[in-house]
């Protein structure tokens, strides 16, 4: 809220204290998470075709019917607090993963859990390491905890594509860190590494630091070499696996995520968990969503078809596009992307700008249904037609995907 929104009472000083200077640790200079655009304002402004929201990697397939029905039923009694332990959901999750309920910790989205891990284990003398082009929340979590942040260079950081994690560089950075965050597959690059490579990385990183493997997009993976790191928990007690219902399960609006790990680790995190952090509607819908494995399979299959199709369409236009095991593609236009971004927005198509990630020539595009993807391509073609001369040419012969 801007200073001065609340008028000073008569006779009172209007000087607003420097609250930023009061903030502890790194919070004083912390910039909040950037969601890309003011999506609500864009929705209000959108024309007859509505807004095509391709900026936040939500599922165009939505939630399964059972989850919607469970959410509706849970609305029946909003006067009661939810189960503070989310026991039924934890039991259901544990059963599916071959774990016990004590190996599951629920979060108000996995974002909350990513922050909670740093709050508990990072600090001025306990650094956080992550790969360059890793998810923005990792650096925010470190800074909020007052912890040094070590960014390990990504693979091919100086080339246009791809920009996957360099696990050797990350293992090197990990030596000085208490927490390592890595997403597999990764946001915003879409890149991934196989479970064997992760196992080797965990062995190299050693047992004295927490390795958080963020699997927000794992349900979209079709590469058989990539299975959940939950399969490695028995070998690596310092591993914490993060998952979410926001992506393939189509429940981003309800904010339900979870961490899988050793009971002794989760018990420490539990000390700072907000009571009732997952609401009753979210608990019910997530549990029902788990039961509909056919919905996830169908979502994965449809997403993979659109991923291949849009990838080919973009490459045919000479646009550099990275490999992806997620529900989005990272495009490199080969020139500063803000003009194309503005032209897409003018056509009510919302991409995710990548300036904040140090990738000013890139845009990240969530895969939609085929009609969405066709609409995106038409808007992109028009936007590129309006882009500065030479922009298309710069893309020709772009780096391989």
Binding site for ligand PLP (CB under 6 A): 57, 109-111, 135, 183, 187, 214, 216, 244, 246, 252, 257
CB-based closest residue to ligand PLP: 109
Cβ at position 356, least distance to ligand PLP in Å: 13
In the bound state with ligand PLP, the residue whose beta carbon lies nearer, of 138 and 201, is 138
In the bound state with ligand PLP, the residue whose beta carbon lies nearer, of 245 and 384, is 245
Cβ at position 389, least distance to ligand PLP in Å: 35
Q: How far apart are CA 126 and CA 138, in angstroms?
A: 14
Cβ at position 18, least distance to ligand PLP in Å: 31
Cβ at position 286, least distance to ligand PLP in Å: 11
Q: How far apart are CA 316 and CA 222, in angstroms?
A: 23
List of E strands, 114-165: 127-131, 149-152
Cβ at position 68, least distance to ligand PLP in Å: 18
* CB 215, CB 184: distance < 8 Å: yes
List of E strands, 171-287: 177-183, 210-214, 239-244, 257-260
User: CA separation (Å) from 245 to 53, 94, 248, 336, 393?
Assistant: 19, 15, 7, 34, 41
In the bound state with ligand PLP, the residue whose beta carbon lies nearer, of 57 and 116, is 57
Cβ at position 137, least distance to ligand PLP in Å: 6
In the bound state with ligand PLP, the residue whose beta carbon lies nearer, of 82 and 134, is 134
Cβ at position 252, least distance to ligand PLP in Å: 6
In the bound state with ligand PLP, the residue whose beta carbon lies nearer, of 252 and 374, is 252
Work out the end-to-end distance of the chain between its first and last CA atoms, rounded to an integer number of angstroms: 43
Half-sphere exposure of 239 (CA within 13 A, CB side): 24
In the bound state with ligand PLP, the residue whose beta carbon lies nearer, of 334 and 351, is 351
* CB 259, CB 306: distance < 8 Å: no
Q: How far apart are CA 250 and CA 194, in angstroms?
A: 25
Task: Please report which residue ranges of 259-369 form alpha helices under DSSP H.
Answer: 263-270, 280-291, 293-316, 338-346
In the bound state with ligand PLP, the residue whose beta carbon lies nearer, of 252 and 382, is 252
Cβ at position 192, least distance to ligand PLP in Å: 12
Half-sphere exposure of 211 (CA within 13 A, CB side): 31
Cβ at position 183, least distance to ligand PLP in Å: 4
In the bound state with ligand PLP, the residue whose beta carbon lies nearer, of 173 and 183, is 183
Structure tokens at 328: 């989005």
Instruction: Name which of 170, 148, 166, 144 is nearest 157 in CA terms.
Output: 166
Burial class (CB in 10 A: 0-12, 13-18, 19+), 83: middle
Q: How far apart are CA 273 and CA 260, in angstroms?
A: 15
In the bound state with ligand PLP, the residue whose beta carbon lies nearer, of 216 and 314, is 216
Cβ at position 152, least distance to ligand PLP in Å: 17
In the bound state with ligand PLP, the residue whose beta carbon lies nearer, of 71 and 383, is 71
Q: How far apart are CA 372 and CA 212, in angstroms?
A: 34
Cβ at position 109, least distance to ligand PLP in Å: 3
Instruction: Name which of 286, 231, 257 is nearest 110 in CA terms.
Output: 257
Cα angle, residue 155 at apex, residues 183 and 373 outer, rounded to 5°? 60
């Amino acid at each position: 809220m801007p200073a001065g929104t609340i008028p000073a009472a008569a006779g009172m000083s209007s000087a607003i204290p420097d609250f930023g200077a009061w903030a502890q640790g790194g919070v004083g200079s912390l910039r909040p998470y950037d969601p890309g655009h003011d999506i609500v304002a864009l929705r209000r402004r959108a024309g007859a075709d509505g807004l095509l929201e391709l900026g936040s990697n939500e599922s165009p397939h939505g939630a399964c019917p059972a989850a919607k029905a469970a959410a509706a039923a849970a609305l029946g009694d909003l006067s009661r607090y939810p189960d503070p332990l989310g026991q039924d959901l934890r039991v259901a999750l544990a059963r599916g993963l071959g774990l016990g309920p004590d190996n599951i910790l629920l979060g108000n989205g996995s974002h909350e859990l990513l922050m909670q891990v740093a709050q508990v284990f990072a600090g001025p003398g306990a650094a956080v390491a992550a790969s360059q082009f890793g998810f923005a929340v990792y650096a925010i979590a470190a800074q909020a905890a007052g912890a040094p942040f070590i960014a390990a260079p990504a693979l091919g950081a100086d080339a246009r594509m791809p920009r996957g994690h360099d696990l050797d560089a990350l293992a090197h950075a990990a030596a000085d860190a208490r927490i390592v965050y890595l997403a597999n597959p990764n946001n915003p690059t879409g890149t991934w590494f196989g479970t064997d490579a992760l196992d080797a990385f965990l062995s190299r990183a050693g047992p004295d630091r927490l390795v958080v493997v963020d699997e927000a997009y794992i349900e979209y993976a079709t590469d058989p070499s990539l299975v959940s790191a939950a399969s490695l928990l028995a070998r690596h007690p310092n591993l914490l696996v993060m998952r979410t219902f926001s992506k393939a399960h189509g429940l981003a609006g309800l904010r339900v995520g979870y961490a899988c790990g050793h009971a002794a680790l989760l018990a420490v995190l539990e000390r700072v968990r907000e009571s009732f952090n997952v609401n009753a509607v979210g608990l019910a819908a997530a549990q029902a969503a788990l039961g509909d494995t056919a919905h996830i399979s169908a979502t994965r299959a449809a997403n993979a078809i659109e991923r291949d199709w849009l990838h080919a369409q973009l490459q045919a236009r000479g646009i550099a596009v990275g490999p992806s095991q997620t529900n989005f593609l990272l495009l490199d236009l080969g020139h500063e992307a803000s003009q194309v971004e503005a032209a897409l927005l003018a056509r009510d198509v919302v991409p995710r700008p990548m300036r904040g990630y140090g990738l000013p020539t890139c845009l990240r595009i969530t895969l939609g249904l085929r009609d969405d993807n066709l609409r995106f391509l038409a808007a992109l073609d028009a936007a590129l037609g309006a882009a500065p001369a030479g922009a298309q040419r710069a893309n020709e012969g772009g780096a391989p995907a």
